[in-house]
Chains A and B, each alone.
Chain A
Amino acid sequence: ILSQGTFEGCNCFRQRLVLSTLSGKRVKIRNIRSKDDNPGLRDFEASFIRLLDKVTNGTRIEINQTGTVLFYQPGLLYGGSVEHECNVQRSIGYYLEALLMLAPFMKTPLRAVLKGVTNDPTDPSVSVCPFISLSSKRRVLKRGMAPAGGGEVLFTCPVRRSMKPVHLTEPGKIKRIRGTAFSVRVSPQMANRIVDSARSILNKFIPDIYIYTDHMKGASSGKSPGFGLTLVAETVNGTFLGAEVVSTPQGQGDPVLPEDLGRNCAKLLLEEVYRGGCVDSTNQSLSLLYMTLGQQDVSKTLLGPLSPYTVEFLRHIRDFFQIMFKIEQQKPGEDEQKGGEKVLMTCVGAGYSNINKTIK
C-alpha cells in the first residue's frame, strides 16, 4: 500500500498533476517506466510539466536523474497570457484537456496559445474537446498534422469563483449533426469525399446534417499532410456528442481512404450515440471534475458506460478530494430504442471555491 499522495507509473499522469494542483496536495510519482528500455518521463510529459509551470506560480517540481521519480508541489494557478510549444509526440488536445480542467480556477483569465500538432489519432482534437464548458473559446489558428505539427490553437477561458451544481440527467433527442471535414497539404477534394461518405450513413437517421469542409493553405496548413473529420451531434437539450477520426500520420502505418475515414467517423458518432449520456466518452472526466468542484450540493450527470480513463479519474478524485460518486446503472427500457445502458453519476460537491481569484 502506498502512502497518501504517492503513485506508481506514468498512467494518468495528467490527472494526478491536475488534481494535485486543484487540491493543493503534493504528489509523488515513482517508477515511471522504470522497467522500460527507455525509462523515465517522455518529452511530451516534460512539455506538459513545463506548461503547468507556466500557468502556475510557486510550483516546485523535482525530477530525479533518470526521470523515473517526479515530485510535484503545486503552487497557485495564475493564468494570464501563455504561449507554449507543445511536444509533437502528442497532439494539443492532450495539453488542452488538462488546461480545461484548470482554467476556470485561475487568478486571471487564461489566454493560451498552444503550438504543435492539432489533430492526431490518439488524442481528441480541439473541436471535439470541450462542449460542456462555460464560455471558453477555442480557435484553430493553424492546422498542423502529426508527425511534424506546426499548428496553432488559441484557447481563452474566463475565471469563476465557484461552480454551480450540475444537473444533466436528460440528454434529449438529437436534433442536428454538424461537422468539419478538413484537409491540409492534400487535395481539397479529399474533404468532399469524406463528407459524402459520412452523410451516406448519417442520413438514415436525421436529415439535418451539415458538414463543413475546411481546407487550409499556406502558412496555416502546418508541416505535414493529412485529413480528417469531426462530427458533433447536438440534442434539443443542448448537450453534445462528438466523434473524430484523423488520417494516419505520414509514414506511420497504412494510408486510409477518405471514404473509409468518413464512414468510420460516422459509425463512431453512432457508437457515441449508442453509449449516450449527456456527455460523450472523452469528456466524461471533465464533467465529473466540475461536479466535484461544485458547491456542497448534489450534482447529477447521466453518462454512457464509463471509460477506463474515467474510472481511473474517479479513483483519483477519491484520493484527492475524498469524494465518492453514487453510481447507478440505468437499464434501457424494453420498448425504447435508445442505445445501451447509461450510468447516472451523483455526488455532493467538495465546496470548492477558487481561492486564487482576487477580490477587490
Chain B
Amino acid sequence: MEKKEQKRHQHKHSGPKADKKNRKKEQGTEPERDERKRNPRAFSVQSAVRMAKTFHRTQDIKTKKHHIPLVDRTPLEPPPVVVVVMGPPKVGKSTLIRCLIKNYTRQKLSDICGPVTIVSGKKRRLTFIECNNDINSMIDLAKVADLVLMLIDASFGFEMETFEFLNICQVHGFPRVMGVLTHLDTFKNNKTLSKTKKRLKHRFWTEVYQGAKLFYLSGMVYGEYQTQEVKNLGRFISVMKFRPLVWRTSHPYVVADRMEDLTDPEDIRLNPKCDRTVSLYGYLRGTFLKNKCQVHIPGVGDFSVADVSFLPDPCPLPEVIKKRALNVKERLLYAPMAGVGGLVYDKDAVYIDMPSGHGSQQQEVRPTTELVQSLIGTQATLDAKMAASKVSLTCLMFSVLIVRKQNPMESREWDERAQRERRRAVFADEDDDDDDDDDGDGEQESDEEEDEEEDDEEDEDEEGVTTLKKHDKTAAETAAPPVKKQKCEVPMEMPAFADSDDELEKSEEDESEEDESEEEEENEENEEMEEGEPAKKSSGPDSGLCSEDDDEDEEEDSDTDEDGDGTVKSKMSSKHPEEENIDTDDAEMEVQNGHNLEDLAQKATEAYLRHQLAAPNLRKLVYGTVAEKEEDDSNDEEELGGLFKVNRPEKSKKVRADAMDCSRFQPDNSHDWDQEEVRSSIRDCFVTGKWEEDKDAATLLKEDEELYGDFEDLETGQVHKAKTGNKDQAEEAPQVKLDDDEVQKNKRLEKKRRLKERFDAQYDDGDATYFDDLKEEMQKQAELNRQEFEDVDDEIRVQYEGFRPGMYVRVEIPALPCEFVTNFDPHYPIILGGLGPSEGNVGYLQMRLKKHRWHNRILKTRDPLILSLGWRRFQTIPLYYIEDHNGRHRLLKYTPEHMHCGATIWGPITPQGTGFLAVQTVGGIKASFRIAATGVVLDLDKSVTIVKKLKLIGYPYKIFKNTSFIQGMFNTVLEVAKFEGASIRTVSGIKGQIKKALRTPPGAFRATFEDRLLMSDIVFLRSWYPASVPQLYNPVTSLLMPVGQKETWAGMRTLGQLKHDLGIRNKPNQDSLYKPVVRQVRHFNPLHIPKELQKALPFKNKPKQMQAKGKTPRDLQRPAVVREPHEKKVAALLDALSSVYAYKNKKARAEQHAKHKEFLKQKEKQEAERQKRMKEERKKTYRAMGQKEKKKLKSSLKGASKDN
C-alpha cells in the first residue's frame, strides 16, 4: 500500500535546454504571465462542441455542490449531545464511559446504568448511553445518536455487530461515527500492531467514509485507559460538529433518563396488572413537542401524552463566563437511573434521589383524597403525592397550609457533589408581600413563613449557593420594590380594580384565610395572562375565568406556593415587565391629570369600562371561555309528570352547537356609509388617500434629492451641494444641541444605509442567483423564528410554539402496560419519539426494498418480517412485487438478488422517503448477518394494486371449423359474461376470443379461433388476480419482556420455522418423487412393400429377393495351404534376394540424385556467368547508342539555335 519512493526529476545543468532556461532567468520575465498572448493558438477555440461540453460539466459540478437551503432551526441552547458507545461485549464500553466521565467531571461512576448527562464545556453537554449487544437497542439508539463511539477489539478484529450497527445507522440517517480501537496492548510485536491498525483502519474507511476518524486506545493502566488518550478523545468529542438529519429535525424526541410510576398504589394493590400512569423525564430534542401529542415508545407502543411540562435544567450549562475552563462546580453530572443525579426536580417537588430511593418513593404515593393520611405523611410523601394528583382547589389549599407550617426543611436538600441547590424562597416571600398589602388577615402566618424562608436563604448563602440562584435572587430583589409601590397605589387610583377585588374577597372571606391569598394569586394570574395584549395594559381581573389554562395556572400557583420550586422562577420573570407596565401607566396618568384624585379615579373607571367593551381579551375569547358556553345546556329541562322530559328545540343556548355552518361574517350596522365622516374613516385605505411618511412619493423624492444632491461637476470642477440639508440644519438650530446631534447622526446613518442599499441593488444584482435569494429568505425566516417569541414568558411560549428542543421535560403517559414498570431495566434505552399528524394511523405502505447482499437467504413473500421504520419496530407481512413495463405490479414469490423490488406492507403511515431496515428475528442470533433488507418508503396508498398471474384452463367439447365450444373454464354464465371478448389461446399457439356464454353446461362458452382446434387442445385464458396484503402490524414489545429476557422477543413465526419447530414435514408431491426407470423393449413390424410398387421401383431400390447366404457346404469350402519345408526355404531365399535387389536399387537412385544436383548447380553457375556477360555487352551497346543519341540531339539543338 505504501507508495514507492519515486526518482526525482533531474534538472539539466548544461546543454541547450539549460542555456535556454538560464537566459530566461536572466531576463527576469515570468513566462506564465502572458501565456495567452505569447501562444494564442493554444488558447483559441479548437472545438465549439468540446467547449460547450466542458462548460456544461463545470456548471454541473457547481450546481451539484448546492444543497437546498433549509431554515436554520437549531435551538439556542441545544440539548446534550447523545453519545452512544457501541460495541460487542467485553470490548471496554463501560470502562471507556467511566474514563470519559472521569475526564470531564472528575467523578467516578461505578455502574453505567441508563443515560449519563454531563457538562463537558461552556456550550456543550453530553449524554452517554451504553448500547448493549441486542439488535433492539442497537436500532433504537442508532435513531437518536448524534455521535457513535464504535469500540472495536483490535486483538480480535471486526465483529458482525459493528457492521450491523453501521448498516442500521445508514438507514436511519448517518450520525457521526468514530471508531475506537481497544485491546491494543495484547500485541507484543510492534509490526503486527501497526499492520493490524492499518488493516482495520482501511476496512473502517470503506464502511464509513474515506478518512473517518479511528482512535487508538493503547492500553490499560490500573483498569483504566491512559489519561492522556482519554483526554484527547474527550477533546475530539467536544469539538465535533453534527449534521442535522431529516427525520430528527422534523420529529420531537426524548431520550428518557428517568422514569417514575404515578399510578395510585391502591389500584395496583387491587389489580397488580392494571395499566400504569408513568412520567418520563428527559431532554427534548429534534423539534417542538406539542402537549397532548402522540408518541411512540420503541419496544412498547403508541401512546398519547397526557401532560407535558418543562422543568428547570438538572444539568445546566454554566452562566456566561469569561474565563476559559469550567470550574469544579460547573462540571455537573446527572444520571438518575444510575443513582447519581444530585437533586431531582419533579413537577412540583424537589427532593434528593437516593440510590435506593426509587422504589420507596413509588410505594409512598397515596391517593390524595385521604386528607388524614396527608396530614400524617412526611414531606417526601406529600411532594410525591402532589406530583401524582389532580386535586380540587380547597383540598389543595388545605394541604398547602399544612406544608407551610410543618416544612422548613427543603432547603437542606442540597447535594454536596453536584453543587446544585435550587430551592428558592424568593417567590413565597413576594407572595407574602402581596398578602400584606391587600389584607392584614394573613399577616401572622406569612410573617412566620417569611422568617423561615429568610433563614433558609441565609443558610443557603452560607453554604455557597450557585451563581445561578444568586442571580435569580438578585433579580427578584430588584423587582420587589416596584411591586410594593404599585400595590399601594392601585386601590386608591382605580376603584374598578378595588371594587371587584373586594367583592370577590367578601364572598370568599368566610371560607378560610388561606383562600384569600389564593384568590389574590388568581388575580395576579389573570393579569399575567392578559399581559400578552398590549391593548389591555390597565385591565383588571377578567370575569371569564374558567379556562383550562387558568386552571392549570392555579394549580401550579398553589404548588409553587407550597414549595417554591423552579417554575416559580419563570413566573417571576414574567411578572416583572407587566408590573412595570402598570407602574409606568400609573405614572403617566398622574402626569396628565395633575393632582385631582377624584377626577383621576373617574377617568380610570371610564377608561377601564370602555376597554372592557371595546377590546375583550381576544386570546381569552378564542381559547379561554369555550367550554363554559357550550356546556350549561342541560338545566332547563322540565319534567312532565315526573316521567318524561320535555324535549324542545332550544333557542338561545343550543344555537352554538347546531348553528348554521357559514363562513360569512355579517357586518354590524353601525356604519352608515352615506355619511362623510364614516367614509373618511377608511380614506387612507385607498391609493388616493394619505401615504405613510416612508412611502410617500414626495418624501421619497426628497430623500433621493438628499442622496444624489451633492455632486461635483467634473468638467468645471464646481461642487453642487444639496440644499435640503442646510435648510434642515438651519431649522433645527434653535433646538437642543444634544437632540440635534442625535437627529443628525440618525439621519446620516439612514442616508448611508439607503445609499448602500442602492449600491447593492445596482451592483450585486448580477450575481444574485435564485439560490442566493432563497438562502437569504431562509435566513430571514430563521431570524424571525428566533425573535418572535424571544421575550415571551416560557409558560406562555410553550403554548404557542410547543416545548422547544433543549428543554428538560416531564412527560406523563397514561395507560402504559404494567410490564413496562415491573420489568423495567435501565440498561435498555427508553425513547419517546413524537409522531407527526396522521403518523399514528395504520395503512398500506409501498416501499422499495433490496435484500441485503450480506444476508445469506432470499426473502419470501408472506413471511413475517420485522421492520424498523421511523421510530417503530414492528413485525409485518410484506408482499414483494416488481413493476412490469406497463406499470403493472406483479407479485413475486421471492425477493430478487442484487436488485430492488417493491414491497407492500400494512404498517404505520410514515412520510415518503423514510428509510427502513428489516430483520427476520430480533431474538437471538440465527443468521450470520442479521439485517435482511433495506429500503425506502415510496408511497402511501390505501388501495393495493399488486396482481398475481392466473391461468384459467378449459377444454373444447365441440369443434366446428374455427368455432369451438369450450367448457371447464368458468362455472356460471355470469362469469363468462364478465370475460366476453377476452382473448384466449391454446397451448399450441392458436389465438382466439371468447364470444358468448352457452346455456348448458353452465360456464361453457362459444369461442372463435384463427384456426381449427383439435379435441386434444387445451385452451387457456391469461388474467391477473389482485393479491391482498395481510393486515398484520405487530409492534415489537421487547421492553415489556422480563428482565434478562429482553432480547428474546419472538413474534409471529414463518411457516418454515413453525414446521421446523413442530416437526411437521411436507408431504411431497407424488409426481415429483424419483422412481426407477423402466424401459419397454420396442418391436418394429417388418416393412411391407406392395408387389406392384416393387415392380415399379428401379433395381437399386427393389427389395432384394435374395435369401441370406447360408453356410457354404462342406464340399465347397477350400482348405488352408501349408508349405513344405523346401518350399519354405525357396520362399525365404526369394524374399532375401528381392530385398537385396531393392536396396541396391535405392542406393543407385540416391547416387543418381546427388549427381544430378551437382549437375544442376554447375549449370546454374554457367547460366549466371552467361547472364553477366550478356549484361555487360548490353550495357556497352546501350551506352554507345545513348551517346549517339546525345550527339544527335546536341547537333539538332545547335542547328535550331542557329536557326533562331
Residues of A in contact with B (beta carbons under 8 Å apart): 1, 4, 8-15, 22-25, 31-33, 35-37, 57-58, 74-76, 94, 97, 107, 122-124, 165, 173-175, 201, 204-207, 236, 266-268, 270-271, 273-276, 281-285, 295-298, 306-311, 314-315, 318, 320-329, 331, 336-339, 341, 343, 346-348, 350-353, 355-359
Contact partners of A326 in chain B: CB under 8 A: 532, 788-789, 800
Q: Is the CB of A339 within 8 A of B681?
A: yes
Q: Is the CB of B623 within 8 A of A318?
A: yes
Q: Is the CB of B654 within 8 A of A297?
A: no
Name the distance in Å between B621's Cβ and chain A's nearest Cβ.
7
Q: Which of B488-496, B837-845, B1123-1131 contacts A (4 or more CB under 8 A)?
A: B837-845
Which of B73, B659, B687, B840 has the largest number of chain A CB atoms within 10 A?
B687
Q: Which of B940-948, B1004-1012, B1113-1121 contacts A (4 or more CB under 8 A)?
A: B940-948
The yes or no answer to B263 lying at the interface (CB within 8 A) is no
Q: Is the CB of B912 within 8 A of A359?
A: yes
Q: Is the CB of B287 within 8 A of A296?
A: yes
Q: Is the CB of B687 within 8 A of A173?
A: yes
Given A13-B661, A358-B938, A324–B911 Cβ distance below 8 Å? Answer: no
A-B contact pairs, 18 of them (CB 8 A): A24-B840, A31-B657, A173-B689, A174-B685, A270-B673, A281-B664, A296-B250, A297-B784, A307-B663, A314-B622, A327-B618, A327-B622, A328-B532, A337-B682, A337-B690, A338-B682, A348-B802, A353-B250
B residues 666-694 near A (Cβ < 8 Å) are 667, 671, 673, 679-691
Q: Is the CB of A165 within 8 A of B781?
A: yes
Q: Is the CB of B912 within 8 A of A346?
A: no
The yes or no answer to B288 lying at the interface (CB within 8 A) is yes
B residues 349-391 near A (Cβ < 8 Å) are none
Given the complex of chains A and B, what is the CA–CA distance between A293 and B781 in angstroms? Answer: 16
Which chain A residue has the least Cβ–Cβ distance from B840? A24
The yes or no answer to B836 lying at the interface (CB within 8 A) is yes
Question: What 11 new A-B contacts, CB under 8 Å, besides A12-B661, A273-B682?
Answer: A9-B659, A11-B661, A33-B658, A58-B942, A94-B662, A205-B686, A206-B688, A285-B663, A322-B290, A353-B250, A356-B940
Name the distance in Å between B260's Cβ and chain A's nearest Cβ.
24
Contact partners of A314 in chain B: CB under 8 A: 622-623
Contact partners of B679 in chain A: CB under 8 A: 204-205, 270
Name the distance in Å between A32's Cβ and chain B's nearest Cβ.
7
Given the complex of chains A and B, what is the CA–CA distance between A311 and B617 in angstroms? Answer: 13
The yes or no answer to B615 lying at the interface (CB within 8 A) is yes
Contact partners of B663 in chain A: CB under 8 A: 97, 123-124, 282-283, 285, 307, 309
Q: Is the CB of B654 within 8 A of A58?
A: no
Question: Which of the residues A9, A57, A267, A297 comes within 8 Å of B942, measured between beta carbons?
Answer: A57
Q: Which of B399-407, B642-650, B1014-1022 contacts A (4 or more CB under 8 A)?
A: B642-650
Contact partners of B667 in chain A: CB under 8 A: 268, 271, 275
Contact partners of A33 in chain B: CB under 8 A: 658
Contact partners of B939 in chain A: CB under 8 A: 358-359
Given A296-B287, A311-B621, A327-B622, A173–B686 Cβ distance below 8 Å? Answer: yes
Name the distance in Å between A120's Cβ and chain B's nearest Cβ.
11
Question: Which of the residues A76, A270, A321 comes within 8 Å of B837, measured between beta carbons?
Answer: A321
Given the complex of chains A and B, what is the CA–CA distance between A36 and B650 in angstroms? Answer: 8
Given the complex of chains A and B, what is the CA–CA distance between A285 and B673 in angstroms? Answer: 27
B residues 601-654 near A (Cβ < 8 Å) are 615, 618-619, 621-623, 626-627, 630, 647-650, 654
Given the complex of chains A and B, what is the CA–CA distance between A14 and B818 in angstroms? Answer: 40
Given the complex of chains A and B, what is the CA–CA distance between A310 and B680 in angstroms? Answer: 28
Which A-B residue pairs are the 5 nearest by beta carbons?
A: A24-B838, A9-B657, A58-B942, A307-B665, A322-B290
Which chain B residue has the least Cβ–Cβ distance from A352? B837
Given the complex of chains A and B, what is the CA–CA distance between A328 and B530 in angstroms? Answer: 11
Name the distance in Å between A35's Cβ and chain B's nearest Cβ.
5
B residues 899-939 near A (Cβ < 8 Å) are 909, 911-913, 938-939
The yes or no answer to B534 lying at the interface (CB within 8 A) is yes
Contact partners of A307 in chain B: CB under 8 A: 663-665
The yes or no answer to B656 lying at the interface (CB within 8 A) is yes
Contact partners of B658 in chain A: CB under 8 A: 9-11, 32-33, 36
Question: Which of the residues A76, A267, A327 comes within 8 Å of B941, measured between beta carbons?
Answer: A76
Q: Is the CB of B799 within 8 A of A8?
A: no
Contact partners of B781 in chain A: CB under 8 A: 165, 297-298
Given the complex of chains A and B, what is the CA–CA distance between A74 and B909 in angstroms? Answer: 13
Given A282-B664, A309-B665, A324–B654 Cβ distance below 8 Å? Answer: no
Which chain B residue has the least Cβ–Cβ distance from A347? B800
Q: Is the CB of B788 within 8 A of A346?
A: yes
Which chain A residue has the least Cβ–Cβ distance from B778? A297
Q: Is the CB of B290 within 8 A of A297?
A: no
Q: Is the CB of B665 within 8 A of A351?
A: no
Name the distance in Å between A136's Cβ and chain B's nearest Cβ.
17
Q: Is the CB of B686 within 8 A of A274?
A: no
Contact partners of A175 in chain B: CB under 8 A: 686-687
Which of B623, B627, B658, B667 has the largest number of chain A CB atoms within 10 A?
B658
Given the complex of chains A and B, what is the CA–CA distance between A15 and B615 in angstroms? Answer: 27
Q: Is the CB of B687 within 8 A of A236?
A: yes
Q: Is the CB of A322 within 8 A of B665?
A: no
Q: Is the CB of B843 within 8 A of A270?
A: no
Name the distance in Å between A16's Cβ and chain B's nearest Cβ.
10
Contact partners of A308 in chain B: CB under 8 A: 665
Given the complex of chains A and B, what is the CA–CA distance between A36 and B659 in angstroms? Answer: 12
Which chain A residue has the least Cβ–Cβ distance from B630? A8
Name the distance in Å between A24's Cβ and chain B's nearest Cβ.
2
Q: Is the CB of A122 within 8 A of B680?
A: no
Contact partners of B648 in chain A: CB under 8 A: 35
The yes or no answer to B853 lying at the interface (CB within 8 A) is no
The yes or no answer to B483 lying at the interface (CB within 8 A) is no
Contact partners of A274 in chain B: CB under 8 A: 671, 681-682
The yes or no answer to B292 lying at the interface (CB within 8 A) is yes
The yes or no answer to B1196 lying at the interface (CB within 8 A) is no
Given the complex of chains A and B, what is the CA–CA distance between A231 and B636 in angstroms? Answer: 45
Q: Is the CB of B687 within 8 A of A348?
A: no
Which chain A residue has the least Cβ–Cβ distance from B287? A296
Question: Which of the residues B534, B622, B657 comes within 8 Å of A8, measured between beta carbons?
Answer: B657
Q: Is the CB of B682 within 8 A of A339?
A: yes
The yes or no answer to B291 lying at the interface (CB within 8 A) is yes
Given the complex of chains A and B, what is the CA–CA distance between A307 and B627 in angstroms? Answer: 19
Name the distance in Å between B1087's Cβ and chain A's nearest Cβ.
71
Question: Which of the residues A32, A76, A268, A273 comes within 8 Å of B843, measured between beta carbons?
Answer: A76
Q: Is the CB of A324 within 8 A of B799?
A: yes
Contact partners of B816 in chain A: CB under 8 A: none
B residues 765-789 near A (Cβ < 8 Å) are 781, 784-785, 788-789
Given the complex of chains A and B, what is the CA–CA distance between A336 and B683 in angstroms? Answer: 9
The yes or no answer to B1078 lying at the interface (CB within 8 A) is no
Name the distance in Å between A159's Cβ and chain B's nearest Cβ.
13
Contact partners of B800 in chain A: CB under 8 A: 324-326, 346-348
Contact partners of A32 in chain B: CB under 8 A: 658
Q: Is the CB of A359 within 8 A of B664?
A: no
The yes or no answer to B293 lying at the interface (CB within 8 A) is yes
Which of A268, A295, A307, A326 has the largest number of chain B CB atoms within 10 A?
A326
The yes or no answer to B71 lying at the interface (CB within 8 A) is yes
Given the complex of chains A and B, what is the CA–CA distance between A356 and B288 in angstroms? Answer: 23
The yes or no answer to B660 lying at the interface (CB within 8 A) is yes
Contact partners of B940 in chain A: CB under 8 A: 76, 355-356
Q: Is the CB of B665 within 8 A of A282?
A: yes
Q: Is the CB of B618 within 8 A of A343?
A: yes
Given the complex of chains A and B, what is the CA–CA distance between A325 and B627 in angstroms? Answer: 18
Given A22-B837, A33-B658, A296–B288 Cβ distance below 8 Å? Answer: yes
The yes or no answer to B858 lying at the interface (CB within 8 A) is no
Given the complex of chains A and B, what is the CA–CA distance between A48 and B657 in angstroms? Answer: 19
Given A4-B292, A295-B71, A315-B626, A58–B682 Cβ distance below 8 Å? Answer: no
Name the distance in Å between A57's Cβ and chain B's nearest Cβ.
5
Given A11-B658, A24-B909, A311–B686 Cβ distance below 8 Å? Answer: no
Q: Is the CB of B662 within 8 A of A123?
A: yes
Given the complex of chains A and B, what is the CA–CA distance between A323 and B623 in angstroms? Answer: 11
Which chain A residue has the least Cβ–Cβ distance from B786? A298
